[in-house]
């Protein structure tokens, strides 16, 4: 996993709209990057909709929010549209970015062990450094964690 206080690994990924999003292009404002396993599943929907429902708080913090999963841009577009998500969803189909952040690995689900996305959140400061990182973040607690970390940046 990336360490707090270190430069966030840069990336360039296609979004649900087909645009390319580069982390380095977002310098000058905080960025919340979160990794989630799969579009339109119960936990991932809970996580994304909680951020959507608190969107005004993320805007007041000046933050850009980016959701990343291995799903395709087409899948992201459907998920974003279905739930009216106000932030980009990025396709990391080869999971290289998830690996760079330590959000890819072995996990257990329903008694089975498999390799995949580990639900994780990162707050990156305006200078491009990792201000906070949380692996195995709970879908229903991610919003509160991210907003609390963003508030620390504003202090």
For residues 53 and 65, what is the distance between their CA atoms, to the nearest angstrom? 13
Contact at 8 Å (CB) between 122 and 130? yes
Using CB atoms within 10 Å of the CB of residue 38, give its burial: 0 to 12 exposed, 13 to 18 middle, 19+ buried.
middle
Pairing between β-strand 20-22 and β-strand 12-15 as defined by DSSP bridges: antiparallel
| Positions marked active-site | 44
Is 23:58 a contact under the CB 8 Å cutoff?
no
Which residue in 115, 105, 43 sits closest to 79, CA to CA? 43
């Amino acid at each position: 996993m990336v360490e707090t206080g270190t430069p966030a690994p840069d990336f360039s990924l296609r979004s649900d709209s087909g645009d390319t999003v580069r982390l380095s292009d977002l310098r000058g404002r905080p960025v919340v990057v979160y990794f989630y396993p799969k579009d339109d599943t119960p936990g991932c929907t809970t996580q994304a909709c909680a951020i959507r429902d608190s969107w005004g708080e993320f805007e007041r913090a000046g933050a850009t929010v980016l959701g990343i999963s291995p799903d395709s841009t087409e899948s992201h577009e459907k998920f974003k549209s279905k739930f009216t998500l106000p932030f980009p969803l990025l396709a990391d189909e080869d999971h290289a970015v998830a690996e760079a952040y330590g959000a890819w690995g072995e996990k257990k689900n329903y008694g089975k062990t498999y390799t995949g996305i580990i639900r994780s959140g990162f707050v990156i400061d305006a200078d491009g450094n990792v201000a906070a990182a949380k692996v195995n973040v709970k879908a229903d607690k991610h919003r509160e964690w991210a907003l609390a970390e963003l508030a620390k940046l504003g202090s």
